[in-house]
Structure 1
Amino acid sequence: MKDGNSGDQKTLLLIDDDPNLILLVKDYLEFRGYQVVTAENGREALEVLQETAPDMIICDVMMPEMDGYTFVEHVRSNAETEWIPVLFLSAKGQSQDRVKGLSTGADVYMVKPFEPEELVAQVESSLKQASRLIRQQNKGTGSAPAINVPFDVDLTPTELKVVQFVARGMANREIAEELRVSQRTIESHVSNMLGKTGLHNRTELARWAIENQKA
């Protein structure tokens, strides 16, 4: 998948088996300045995630092949994707449906039909909240659990550059643009550093870099 030309442009992954809804929401979000990548079901979306790291995921709940619940469980179990905010879209609006969606790992649960402006507002709110959480984690506040890493971690010069950008809250896509390499290369570097440090995700990696003066 092609990445956006602007480092400030956010990429959204939109997943729904309704082609009419895909076209409507995609056009509206792109009009508001977002880059939108689409998939028809959870299985296809997992393939998309191997190629690109979106800033947020908008996902239908009931889909063929792999539904939204199963897809989000995959997202939350992967250290490379667990940080991505997820917004569920569903025709089911009962309280127990909302509880199940949020308990599965979604950050926002919206009921169809919805107003496009409300969707945009929820997207903007979720992206701002994710950014705040990353900055808070990067500060390494005293209330946060300690990051325990072996003292003999040796990063290559390229890995050191990458982790500095991670510590600044940049997505893999943005780092790839900055270093003029493929996103897959950056994902490989991040994966290698997680393996070397024994950390679980990018947020912990960012905190470790800051607390140990790597960034």
Structure 2
Amino acid sequence: MLKQKILVVDDDKEIVRLLRGYLEKAGFGVLVAHDGRTAVHTLRREKPDLILLDLMLPDMDGYDITRIVRNDAALQQIPVIMLTARVEDSDKIVGLELGADDYVTKPFNPAEVVARVRAQLRAKSRLMSGGDGLEAAVYRTANIQMDTGRREVKIDGKLVELTPTEFGLLQTLLENPGFVFTRSELIERGLEQEYIGMDRTLDSHIKNLRHKIEPDPKNPTFIQTVYGIGYRLAEDK
């Protein structure tokens, strides 16, 4: 069985050494880049299963690399976990809005990083298999159509590109139209991660999803906020 490949991008060689040890012990193959240009070259050549990406790099930052990944059809389904020493919410939210799937703040527990890697790979596997190992399904509501077998989402018949995280969240909502999910339920079912500390991450992913599927993202009609509780997908009337 081929090992899943993780690309670790960080100019701090001690951090790379630490993460490499934990990831290899967990059974992953590890690719390494210490600068942005090498990272992009490795991405295009190796097409890893996931990227652990430092924000601060010598030649280009993690934001630039995330833009490249999300705008390249051959790479855009690769999950991105950002590694950042920046603690401000605004910095984290920018990364999520560019298409990162998760972020980890330095200093970090490497065992937690491995857990987050596994969570993102499970979400990606769910997307690639059509959902939880079950038979592929097609969901329709209003002008949204999701085909889990083809891994496609169409709005008014036009294809919309979603990240694995966005796809997982939308699938969870489409499977349960009208059901109000608390933030913890949506994170645990849609992102397959633990709820702790994930509020802002979820809100950023929902914002991205609305920009892609809503006619007016500032006044959403499909993904509705239920204040004080969480989110729901509007039922067809």
RMSD: 2.7
More helix by share: 1
Shift of 1:89: 0.2
Aligned counterparts of 1:118 and 1:146: Cα–Cα separation in 2: 32
Alignment of 1:83 with 2:77, yes or no, is: yes
Shift of 1:145: 3.4
Aligned match of 1:66? 60
Alignment of 1:142 with 2:136, yes or no, is: no
* Partner AA of 1:117 in structure 2: A
Aligned match of 1:209? none
Secondary structure, counterpart of 1:28 in structure 2: helix
After alignment, is 63-72 or 45-54 more displaced?
45-54
Q: Which has the higher contact order (CA 8 A, sep 6+)?
A: 1
C-alpha distance after superposition, 1:187-214 (max 9, x if no partner): xxxxxxxxxxxx898x9xxxxxxxxxxx
Shift of 1:130: 1.0
Aligned counterparts of 1:146 and 1:109: Cα–Cα separation in 2: 27
Shift of 1:120: 0.8
TM-score scaled by length of structure 2 = 0.57
Alignment of 1:177-188 (within 5 A): none
CA contact (8 A) 2:138 2:146 kept: no
* Partner AA of 2:112 in structure 1: E
C-alpha distance after superposition, 1:36-77 (max 9, x if no partner): 000012211111122211110000001111110000100000
Structure 1, unaligned runs of 5 or more: 1-5, 148-166, 170-198, 204-215
C-alpha distance after superposition, 1:153-209 (max 9, x if no partner): xxxxxxxxxxxxxx799xxxxxxxxxxxxxxxxxxxxxxxxxxxxx898x9xxxxxx
Aligned counterparts of 1:128 and 1:146: Cα–Cα separation in 2: 19
Aligned match of 2:28? 34
* Partner AA of 2:138 in structure 1: T
Aligned counterparts of 1:114 and 1:91: Cα–Cα separation in 2: 10
Secondary structure, counterpart of 1:69 in structure 2: helix
Aligned counterparts of 1:168 and 1:48: Cα–Cα separation in 2: 27
Shift of 1:24: 1.1
Relative to 1, partners in 2 of residues 1:11 and 1:168: Cα closer, same or farther, differing over 3 Å? farther
Shift of 1:124: 0.6
Aligned counterparts of 1:40 and 1:145: Cα–Cα separation in 2: 41
| The one of 96, 102, 116 aligned to 1:102 | 96
C-alpha distance after superposition, 1:121-156 (max 9, x if no partner): 100111001111222378251336378xxxxxxxxx
CA contact (8 A) 1:79 1:200 kept: no
Count of residue pairs brought into register by the alignment: 150
CA contact (8 A) 2:44 2:75 kept: no
C-alpha distance after superposition, 1:78-123 (max 9, x if no partner): 0000000000000011111111111111100110000011101100
Alignment of 1:1-215 (within 5 A): 6-7=1-2, 9-136=3-130, 139-143=136-140, 145=145
Aligned counterparts of 2:27 and 2:139: Cα–Cα separation in 1: 37
* Partner AA of 1:141 in structure 2: V
CA contact (8 A) 1:91 1:111 kept: yes
Aligned counterparts of 2:111 and 2:90: Cα–Cα separation in 1: 25
More strand by share: 2
Aligned counterparts of 2:160 and 2:102: Cα–Cα separation in 1: 24
